[in-house]
Every structure is written in structure tokens, then in C-alpha cells.
Structure 1
Amino acid sequence: MRRLFYITILLFCTLYNVQAQSKKEVYLFAYFKNNGQDGLHLAYSHNAYQWTALKNDSSFLKPAVSKDKLMRDPCIIRGADGLFHMVWTVSWKDKGIGYASSKDLIHWSEQQFIPVMMKEEGARNTWAPEITYDSDTKNYMIYWASTVTGKFTETASAREDAYNHRIYYTTTKDFKTFSETKLLYDPGFNVIDASIINDQGRFVMFLKDETPEPVQKNIKVAYADQLTGPYSRAGEAITGNYWAEGPTALKLGKNWLVYFDKYRDHQYGAVLSSDLKNWKDVSDQIALPKGLRHGTILTIKQNELNRLLKQ
């Protein structure tokens, strides 16, 4: 009897450990390489600092929409419906974005082109779309950076092909029907690469100040009480004396860890803060796959990672 008792306890503990391990969260980095022509790349981490590329750093999904067929700046979130929803930049000059969904990050739905800026006369581009879910309204907000010729002339510059971006958005409940496109954020300067996190009811927007003269090229933070704004004035730069873009942030306990692309230096950087005000550079503590470009971080379960490791 005693032996049977111990065997039962052992089996229970083993089963418990397996179940606990399967529920343990893993960090997943969705990114692109080169010009985004080969599609979606994924890397994983158990501590959010050291990252390993999946599938030998080959593509999980090749781009199929727009004439340029690119998949830059991928953003993936796990939706309230349990599906993974992804949006991405399809072209340097198109007026829409790409969208697809997946149950397992391996098998994806047919790719769609969402013409979010088609009705906006003078729209030149649609860059770096992201998705944030609002649990109060049950809406997904998709947002991106666009330059519209003739708008915001007070910050116009002839430099860098005269791009002068602001952040626009649309909302959806099902990724089938979408609200009319609206302006989300005009901080009074050229802005791209917005990334928004719901922090216990307060929405935190990380963004790039794209001002070419006097040059900024840094990451800043703004806040709002509602996902669709209005957002506050952007704070001081949280990055250092280098050009930074493509912020993606996550909470590690009480700390905020923000990754970004030091694109002129051809390397990634990261800063850490407990209060979103005082930031410490931890770039020397991170390790990422070579050639990783702008992307986003999400969490998945260990059993989901196990399936990805088999690819």
C-alpha cells in the first residue's frame, strides 16, 4: 500500500509539473529581416533578454499582398477570441496594410490587404501598423504612421523625401468590418512607430520622434485614459545619443523593458525602468538573432513554443 501511495504521489507530481510547464509563459519576438521580402521571422526567450531564432531563422509566412509583397514591421497579438492576429507593412508607398490570423503561429489564414488610407487624398504611405485590444469596448485598434501631403505644414521639412507623419487608426471587432480612419496622435512633430500597452487601465504609447531638423530620432512616451485618446504631450527622450526606432515594450514584474532598433549602428538596444521616468540602458545585457529588424514582443505558452520548435 505504501509503495502504491508513493507511486501515486510521484505520478501526480509529474503530471502537475508537466501541466505547470505547459502553462509557463514564453516571450516571442516577431520580426523581419533585410527589406521584409521573405516574410515573418520568430525568436523566443525565457527571460526576455537572450533570444533564439526559430526554424533556423527562416520565414514562417511569406508575404502575398500588395504589388511589393513585403512583410515589414510585423505586429502579433493574441486576441480575445484566442486567435493570433497579425498586421504588417506591405510596401513603402501603398495606402493599406496586411492582415492574417492563426491558431498556432504556424498555419495562417489567407492574407488580406486592408485599405486603411485609400480614402485619404494625398496619403503617401502606411507604415509600422500595430494592434492593441481594449477589453472595455471589446474593440481592436489598428494604428500606423502616414504622411498626407498638405497636412501639418508647420512641421514640414524638405529633408528625407519630405515625409511628415502622424499616427492614424481604425477599430474593429472582427477584422472584417472597420471604422472610418481617424487621426490618433499629433504630438506637434513628425512621429512614427507608435506602440501602445494597456497598463491597468492607463494606455502607454511608446513612439519615435522622427524630426529631421533639428534632429531627434529617439523614443518618447505619451499617455491616455482611453485607447483612442486623447494622448498627452510626449515626454523627454528615453533613449541615448544614437538614432533609435521601432520600440516594443513589455512588463517584467514591476519593470518596463523597451527594445528598439539602433538602425544606424545595425544593432538592437534596450532600456529598463520601474517608473517610466528614469531609464537605464541595458543594451549590453541582450542577445538577439543577427539581422533582426523592427518587430513586436508577445507571450505564448510553453506547449505553443514546443510546436514551433518542431518546425
Structure 2
Amino acid sequence: MSAYLFVHFIGEGKNEEQVYFSLSKDGVNFQDLNQGKPVLCSQLGEEGVRDPFLIRDDKTGKFYLIATDLRMEKGLGWSHAIEYGSQDIIIWESTDLIYWSSPRAVKVGVAGAGNVWAPEAIYDQSKAAFLVFWASKVAGKHRMYAAYTTDFIDFTEPFQFFEKEKDVIDTTIVFDQGYYYRFTKDETNSRIIMERSESLLGDYQLVSSPILDQLEGVEGPEIYQLPDQKTWCLIVDQFMARKGYMILTATDLATGDFNILEQNKYDFGQTKKRHGGVLAITDQEYQRLLTYYDQQNPVISGLYADPDLVAFGDKYYLYPTTDGFTDWSGTSFSAFVSDNLTDFKATGEIVDVASDQVPWAVGHAWAPCITERDGTYYYYFCAKRPDGKSCIGMAHSKHPTGPFTAEDSPLLAHELIDQHGLAMSQMIDPSIYSEDGDYYILFGNGEAGAIAKLTEEMDAIEEDTLQQYAGLVNFREAVTVLKKDGQYHFTWSCDDTRSEDYHVNYGVSSSLYGPVDYKYPILTKNPLKAILGTGHHSIVKVPDQDKYYLAYHRFATPLAQYPEGKAKGYNRETCIAPLDFDQDGLMRPVIV
């Protein structure tokens, strides 16, 4: 274990009583993940969670995150929570710290108890089960209660773990050198008391600690070992002074000899941390968390939409719509290149549909895509003719960034819709799929998408191969397909690009021509992060790896910087996110 994940909440304002993530390599300097927004949210019970705690099951490889079911932002007050609060704990589980189950509420509170506070857990080797413990007020006093579980679904009957002369809450336990060390908040003076026992449920004896005896106004203790495997790090929340967490260190817990770390020697990140838990993780887990929850989006500065992301050789290329024009009236396309899917550089304008470069078009440059065949790059794009009808054209080049030479006439014209009775309103939004040396173009807007095989010259379709798809539920535009493990995976955009609910649906088929078995949305908005209007996407496979990324656009933020009504749909920005498949071979919903 070479890094740390800190799960916590941050306050009592709107959405602050949810689960936030922070990462550290050294255990004392943390960075906020997910742009300082919550990673996990509960709408169960009290519709908020506090005091999250994370534990690893070494036998199954699962992670369990448990938390108090409480939202003080509701305004019912502490007395109400203490006497009548939820007796549930909220639980999530994961196998990789990235994709989490939906939260579930499990009742563990004893009869007559109020709120179940600050649940934590430790594995009991003697019982081959996890001891889950928490505080509740019963008969006028806060005591610590506990129950056993092997799966965080079924729990034994709760029992009293321990009590003191006065109220106690916020217990955490760690095992070291043959002893269980227990740190608990004594509510009498808001100090942390330290005890130890040779057995988990045994008789705990007080460990004298002058520093802890003097430290007032703290709660939420958590303890873990730093990377040197010698130094223990005890963090406590300075709730009374509203200063957030502080750090104490010790090299021998048996002595109770802690030192207060100077404030300039640690950093808990941009947001003030409230009661949470710290888990030691591997470097691989650390890097994975950065990949998914430290995404630097948008990936290209400026307003761009409808991105087509491809890999040619050892480089990645982005081909988007140039955005920021009322009624999507832009006229030119640009390309961007990257070595790492993060740092993209503009290569300049490649096609201008309002110039002599594209003889048949007058404007409205939309939704391009590109492919390579036998050393030539074929670039497909949408534009309007003088009669206002949208068509799909093609330009070709010997280099992925041009110069491109456009065909004199469109490859797919609006008349094709009427000729073949296609249930679509516009001839737009192409994507290219290749298999066994054949190339296909997918396209459409309105009620249904369609597919056709391209000729060897890549400048026309074989009309007898044209077919409309069945099964694209709520189809609007931008259908794509990829083949993985013998199955065809279809994705398509739904709703209107001006709607914050613009999203991407997903389905599968055993045939390239369908019908498509609809599954669920894989790309949707995240209002907590002000991510809205997520759609019109493309998917790229990392060369020689079983890894995929999805490029998409969203509303450019903050919305207030754009004229009223113009931010949603005319001013969009391009983003990239990892795309994964689950154990059943189906796409997972994308984390945004």
C-alpha cells in the first residue's frame, strides 16, 4: 500500500452531507477529487450522509463504504436527530473504488435508540466477520453498539459494545503489535480517549496520553500508518474551532506519546474535511482514481461540439464541430492532436464549407468523422446546400490533418430520405465503422438511424445495403457502433442538444444491421458538477490494449457567461472520459 483515499463529508450546506473523495501519496498532503464535488450521493432515508468510513475485504476484493444516514441541512436540529433520527446505516460497495453499487439502507439500531452515529468496521479474524460499531443514545446516554456481518447485507442482532460514565461517540479501532487500540470521543469534554485490549471484544485498558488529554474540541478520530510503516498518523476534526482536521503522529502506540504536526507540514486540500475515513490503497488504485476522478475537462479550450476521437498510429486526433454560433451556423472545421488523450494541440483549419473547397455547400458545418483506408484519410462532414437542406459530404487527404480535397457533390443528400422512406428529418451525423476490409457509414436524425456499406472508393454507398435500424430507443441522432467479443455495441444520442437532458443510450446486437436490444443510458448529466447536455459522442480503442475512451460534448460553463438562451446548445465544450465494460461484457455508465 503506497497511497491513501480519504472519504469524508464537508459541511452542512446543500450537497455537503454526501461522500467526497481526496487522495494522498504520503498520508499527510491530500488533493480533492471530482473537482471538489461529491462522488457518492444518497437519496435514501434522510437524503444525506455523514461520517463515511471505507474498508477493504481482503478475501473477496470488495470495498464497503458505510455512513451515517443524516442530513442536518434539513433543519430539524441535533435534538431531533439524537432522539428520533434514522437507525439505518447507508452502504455502498465496489470492486475497484470507481464503480459503486447503488446505496442501500440497513437498519442496525437498537430498540429505543435515536440516530446511528459514525459507523465504522474492523475485521475480526476469530469470527471471520466484520465487527460494525456505532454510537446511539439509549436511555439518556450515548453508548457504543455493534453487530457482525460477512457481507454488509445481513447483520447479527446488535449488542452493546461498551459504555463510559458519560456519553461516548466516534470510535475507531486499529490493530498493532498484538493489541487492538481504540480511540473514542468523550462527549464530557470533547477529547479523545485511547484504550487497548488483546481481544476485539475484550476488556480495554486506558493508555495514558498527555497530548490527547490536553486536546479539547475534537472528534472524528481516524488512525493509519504512514508509508514508512513506522509512523502512525492520528487525524482529528477540530469541530469546535471549525478548523477541519489536524494531524498527530506517534511511532509507538503503546506509549501514547503523540506529537502534534505543525500546520505547514500537512495539507487537506481545498475543501475543509469533516468526519471521514482513510484507507491505504495501492499505487494502481491511486492512479485509477486519478484517471476517473481527476479528469481535466474540457480537453480543448474554446467552444467545440460533436467530437470524433480516433487513433492513427501512436497519436490521437479530435475532429469536432466549431461551436459558439447561433443556430449552429459555423462554417469551418479544425483538428487537434495528442500523444496522451490529455494534451491536445490545434493543427489548424482543415475544411471550410463556405469556401470554394466544398463546391456544393454554403455553411452550417456540423458533426464530422474520419477514417483511414489504404493510406488515405476520408473525412465525412455535414453542411447545408443553398436550398437549406443538410447533406453529408466527404473530403480526402494523405495526412490526418490535411490538406483535404472535398468531393464536388455530397455523398448522402437529403433526397435519399424520401427515396427510401427513411424515418429521419435530416441527413446528418455520420460515423464510420470498418470490419473485415469493408467500411460502413451510420447516420440519421429524427426517429431512426440507418447504415449503409461504402463503396471501395469511399465516395458513395451501395444503396442495396441501406437499412434503417430497429431498436434505437428514443433515437435523436449520432449513432455509433463498435464490436467487442463478438457482440455489436450501439450508442446514440437522445433528446435535443439544447436540452440539459441530452444523453446517450446504449444497446447491443449480434448483427451489425440489428435489431438493437436497448439496455440503458451510458452518458447522462451530472447536475452536482454543473455538467449538463452530455451527448453526441464517439468512442476510441487504445491501440493494442483493451481500453476505451469516450469523447462527448456538454454545455460550456458557467452558463451565466453566455447570453440568455444561447448557452444551451450553441455554446458547447468537448470532453473525454474512460469507457469500461462490466463482467457481463456490457458498457458501464460513464463517470462524468
TM-score range normalised by the length of the shorter chain: 0.7 to 0.9
User: Share of identical aligned residues, percent?
Assistant: 30
Does 2:26 correspond to 1:47? yes
Alignment partner for residue 267 of structure 2, among 284, 287, 290?
Answer: 287
Alignment partner for residue 247 of structure 1, among 206, 212, 221?
Answer: 221
- The residue aligned with 1:223 is 196
Mean CA deviation greater in 139-148 or 183-192 = 183-192
> How far did 1:167 drift?
0.6
- Deviation string for 1:152-179 (max 9, x for gaps)? xxxxxxxxxxxx3111000011222211
> How far did 1:231 drift?
2.4
Q: Structure 1 residues 298 and 90, CA, compared in 2 at 3 Å: closer, same or farther?
A: same
> How far did 1:103 drift?
1.2
CA contact (8 A) 1:72 1:128 kept: yes
- The residue aligned with 2:149 is 172
Does 2:112 correspond to 1:122? yes
CA contact (8 A) 1:122 1:148 kept: yes
> How far did 1:40 drift?
1.2
SS at match of 2:285: helix
Q: Structure 1 residues 99 and 106, CA, compared in 2 at 3 Å: closer, same or farther?
A: same
Query: 2: CA distance between counterparts of 1:84 and 1:241?
Result: 33
CA RMSD of aligned residues (A): 1.8
Alignment partner for residue 109 of structure 1, among 101, 113, 116?
Answer: 101
Query: 2: CA distance between counterparts of 1:139 and 1:209?
Result: 28
Q: Structure 1 residues 143 and 241, CA, compared in 2 at 3 Å: closer, same or farther?
A: closer
SS at match of 1:303: helix
> How far did 1:208 drift?
0.6
Query: 1: CA distance between counterparts of 2:282 and 2:276?
Result: 19
SS at match of 2:44: coil
- The residue aligned with 1:90 is 69
Query: 2: CA distance between counterparts of 1:273 and 1:31?
Result: 23
CA contact (8 A) 2:181 2:196 kept: yes
- Deviation string for 1:230-262 (max 9, x for gaps)? 323464564344300000001232222100100
Does 2:127 correspond to 1:137? yes
Does 2:242 correspond to 1:263? no
Does 2:250 correspond to 1:273? yes
> How far did 1:202 drift?
1.5
Q: Structure 1 residues 261 and 237, CA, compared in 2 at 3 Å: closer, same or farther?
A: farther
SS at match of 1:264: coil
> How far did 1:100 drift?
1.4
> How far did 1:264 drift?
1.8
> How far did 1:210 drift?
0.7
CA contact (8 A) 1:220 1:237 kept: no
Query: 2: CA distance between counterparts of 1:115 and 1:131?
Result: 16
Query: 1: CA distance between counterparts of 2:278 and 2:111?
Result: 33
> How far did 1:75 drift?
0.2
Normalised by the length of structure 2, the TM-score is 0.44
- The residue aligned with 1:154 is none
SS at match of 2:205: coil
The number of residues matched between the two structures is 268
Query: 1: CA distance between counterparts of 2:17 and 2:50?
Result: 10
Gaps of 5+ in 1: 1-23, 151-163
Hey, which of these two has a bigger chunk of strand by percent? 2
CA contact (8 A) 2:5 2:279 kept: yes
CA contact (8 A) 1:219 1:237 kept: no
**1:201-240 → structure 2 map (5 Å cutoff):** 201-211=178-188, 216-233=189-206, 235-236=208-209, 238-239=211-212, 240=214
> How far did 1:124 drift?
1.4
